[in-house]
Structure 1
Amino acid sequence: MALLIVLGLLGTGAVLMTARHTSGEEAEHADPHEGQHEGQHEDTHEDKPGDKDAHAPEAQAHGEHEAHEEHEETRISLSAEQIKAAGITLQATGPGQLQASAEFQGEIRFNDDRTSHVVPRLAGVVEAVHADLGQQVKKGELLATVASTALAEQRSEWLTAQKRRDAARVSFEREKKLWEDRISAQQDFLQAQSALQEADIALQNAAQKLAAVGATGASAVLNRFEIRAPFAGTVVEKHLSLGEAVKEDASIFTVSDLSTVWADFAVAPKDLGTVRVGQRVIVSSTAFDSKTEGVIAYVGALLGEQTRTARARVALRNPGGAWRPGLFVTVAVLGEQQTLPLVVNADAVQSVEGQSMVFKAVDGGFAGQPVKLGRSDGRSVEVLGGLKAGEQIAASNTFVLKAELGKGSAEHEH
């Protein structure tokens, strides 16, 4: 038994030695350059560390150069004296209140309450034209002179009635004295009194006919009719010329008081609940930068048959005449106030090459800062990106900075 165990152990050791010898021979016959070729093949597809280090400073320098150029293009150098002379004020950005608003498209129209279509009220021939188109006229100022046969007849009637009234008064005074002296009968006095009353009525009737057409009885020329301005305003239409025959109902002049105008806009049924009489609005136009405030004076109770919208109206003061009838405008109807985290004045924002921009205060002047805007009520604008709370920006007269920025860009291109 012991002999069998020893033989088994010897056989096992021989097998192990044979396996090791075979593995060593395979390793010796393997290609010693195989790993070297594989390493060289892999290296051809990778950049060497030295190459990366060589390109990095060049890329960094190029990026810094572009950033420096961009910073220089948006920088505006101004001294404190120049800033003060330009009337530029500063504002610290931060939270603010903004009124929710709904915008509607509208149009400036004449104030119909202060617009008059002047008609002759008597047919005739134009003798003279004293007012020109676009002329400013005062109340009662002479616009034109018309020769009218109808007026001549009315003035003749008034003159005849006046003569009869004068004669009837003389007769009444005489009969009154005779009756008081008991010389004539009371019946003669009563007849004279009745005749005077009838003459007074006839004279009043003739005078009222003249007043109805805007004429007076006293005139050296019976057929001359003077057409005058009903109130102070501007001649916006003129439809007559010298020697032209005009009818009594022809519109020969249109005079409008342009110190006030109307801004009319359409309101859809879904917005009628938010548009009410008395609400404050801000009216603006893309034609110029000016804005004005007003109050809704009228909201139509009926919807148009074709548009299916109601008409709303805002009365605007127009002292400078900038809001001309026919101008398309945007009417922002203001609602309730809201508190927002970052708000700036609307005058602080300028559009530069289609990009909204504010001007941050920096050493020696300002730098343009593109911003992302949100809601606006015409006076304040919500800022969604590009600024942080507490930063100082130009808040007024920023158009001066925009102009300076344009000059700098033009010089840089040259």
Structure 2
Amino acid sequence: MNRKRSITTVLAVVAIVGLGSLTVTNTGLPFAAESPPQKKQESESGHKHAEGKDHDGEESSNKEASGQGKEEAHDEEGQLELTTAQIDAAGIEVAAAAPRPMSTSLTFPGEIRFDEDRTTHVVPRVNGIVDEVKVELGDSVKKGQVLAVIASQQITDLRSELDAAQRRTELARLTMQREKKLWEDKISAEQDYLLARQAYQEADISLANARQKLNAIGANIKVAAGNRYELIAPFDSVVVEKHLGLGEVVNESTAAFTLSDLTRVWATFGASPKDLKQVAVGRAVKVSAPDLGAQVDGRVSYVGSLLGEQTRAASVRVVLPNPSGAWRPGLFVSIEVTAEKGAAKVTLPESSIQTVEDKPSVFVRNAEGFQVQPVTVGRREGGHVEILQGINVGTQVATEGSFILKSELGKSSAEHAH
């Protein structure tokens, strides 16, 4: 019995020792299995770094993809993909940029004015009262046509003086003839004849003086005209100003009418000292009026030798024919003076130039269709424009119908914006 207990006790002790050993071993396993704290941190750091690397790599990849997308979007910006059939159907024509002789020109703002050589101010040369006004403002008149009639006492006095001079002259002539006959018949002395001839000559001088007084004021020398004084048109013209009314009292300083021959006008502008070398008499010019949509060629006829006190510019004049009266005085115009000839390295028709994003641009033909290309323009002449920068000689560019491409480009930009 005691032996059994002893065996049991031994077995219990052995079991307890075994369990204790097992507990210590199990308790130590996690630490043995786990890495040291430093190694664990390095491991975790390495894991995170790996994850970060993967993440960064993904972001880098995304960024590269995004950048590539942007570059592709940038490459596609301004590109219009069109087939040859579509281009032909739209009526778009293509031309190659080429060199061309062009003139260097200067453009000045100008104004149409009366031709002062064919403009006159009609004034009465006597005092009087307006009896008749025969024309109105804007009327066309012929040379010698009566514009107005003025009743003047001054005219009456001058015509009376003329009438008296005519009578005295006639009487002196008859007296001279009688004295000459008597002298020839030896009835009277030669002295009487000489006195009669002198009296006749003096009367004739008085008559001529009376006629000259009437002619000087432009009055009719017929005595029967009474006190009528007529204002006469000196040449074919148009009444551009009228300052006369019935019953109005006028004198020598009254500006009654202003007449101008509008079949010829002046286009005038001011040239600064730095431009005077390019503006000379005889230079060809083009005068254009945007408001009228009209253009006419001419030549510089006068360059002033003095500079204006206010503008510090010399007055320049171009004489223009105006048979239809379209060039009205007071109209603002643009005057292009052709200065000198020169070769332009790259030129295009003006129809190829379109404004895209406030810049002059052209549509360059490529394999896919057309690509918009900003350019720098220079001189313009004869429907062509010089290209200073942007394209080279031989570049194929849309000409007629380029506005259609501009419209399509605007639609494409609007769609991308949405």
TM-score normalized with structure 2 length: 0.68
Q: Assess if the C-alpha contact under 8 Å between 1:281 and 1:333 holds in 2.
A: yes
User: Structure 2: which 5+ residue stretches go unaligned?
Assistant: 1-34, 365-372, 406-418
**CA deviation after TM superposition for structure 1 residue 197, in Å:** 1.2
TM-superposed deviation, 1:238: 0.6
> Does structure 2 retain, via aligned residues, the 8 Å contact 1:349–1:356?
no
- Structure 1 residue 72: Cα displacement: 11
Per the alignment, residue 152 of structure 1 pairs with 156
Q: Deviations over 1:324-367 (max 9, x none)?
A: 22222222222110111344677x6798898879999xxxxxxx
Q: 1:210 aligned to 207, 214, 218, which one?
A: 214
**Are the aligned partners of 1:118 and 1:252 in contact in 2 as well (CA < 8 Å)?**
yes
> In the alignment, is residue 165 of structure 1 matched against residue 158 of structure 2?
no
Instruction: Give a deviation string over 1:2-61, Cα, whole Å, max 9, x none.
Output: xxxxxxxxxxxxxxxxxxxxxxx99xx999xx799789867975999xxx9xxx9xx99x
SS at the partner of 1:302? strand
User: Residue 109 and residue 357 in structure 1: after superposition, are their counterparts in 2 closer, same or farther (change >3 A)?
Assistant: farther
Question: Match of 1:291, SS?
Answer: strand
State the one-letter code of the partner of 2:114: F
Match for 1:298 among 298, 302, 313?
A: 302
Unaligned runs of 5+ in 1: 1-24, 79-89, 361-368, 406-414
Question: Counterpart in 2 of 1:131?
Answer: 135
1:322 maps onto 2:323 in alignment: no
Indicate conservation of the 8 Å contact 2:279/2:339, yes or no.
no
Q: Distance in 2 between matches of 1:232 and 1:184?
A: 60
Matched residues, number: 362
Per-residue CA distance 1:181-238 (angstroms, 9 max, x = gap): 3333322222222222112111110000000000122153411011011111111111
C-alpha distance in 2 between matches for 1:259 and 1:309:
28
Question: Under a length normalisation based on structure 1, what TM-score does the superposition of the two structures give?
Answer: 0.68
How many angstroms does 1:104 deviate by? 2.3
Q: Residues 208 and 284 (structure 1 numbering): CA distance in 2 closer, same or farther, change over 3 Å?
A: same
2-structure distance, mates of 1:262, 1:371: 37
Aligned pair in 2 of structure 1 residues 404, 135: CA closer, same or farther (>3 Å)? farther
Matching residue of 2:201: 197
Alignment CA distance shift 1:402-1:186 (3 Å): farther
AA at the equivalent of 1:264? T
Whole-Å separation in 2 of the counterparts to 1:212 and 1:283? 42
Q: Does 1:230 align with 2:234?
A: yes
Q: Distance in 2 between matches of 1:91 and 1:179?
A: 104
Deviation for aligned residue 1:292? 2.1
SS at 2:267 equivalent: strand
* Alignment of 1:282 onto 2:291: no
1:213-362 correspondence runs (5 A)? 213-343=217-347
1:113 aligned onto 2:117: yes
**Alpha-carbon offset, residue 309 of structure 1:** 2.5
Assess, with a 3 A threshold, how the Cα gap between structure 1 residues 202 and 93 changes in structure 2: closer, same or farther.
farther
Q: Distance in 2 between matches of 1:279 and 1:352?
A: 32
For the pair shown, the structure with the greater C-alpha radius of gyration is: 2
Instruction: Return closer, same or farther for 1:259/1:188 CA change in 2, 3 Å cut-off.
Output: same
CA RMSD of aligned residues (A): 5.0
Alignment of structure 1 residues 89-104 onto 2, 5 Å? 94-104=98-108
Q: 2:96–2:393: 8 Å Cα contact kept in structure 1? A: no
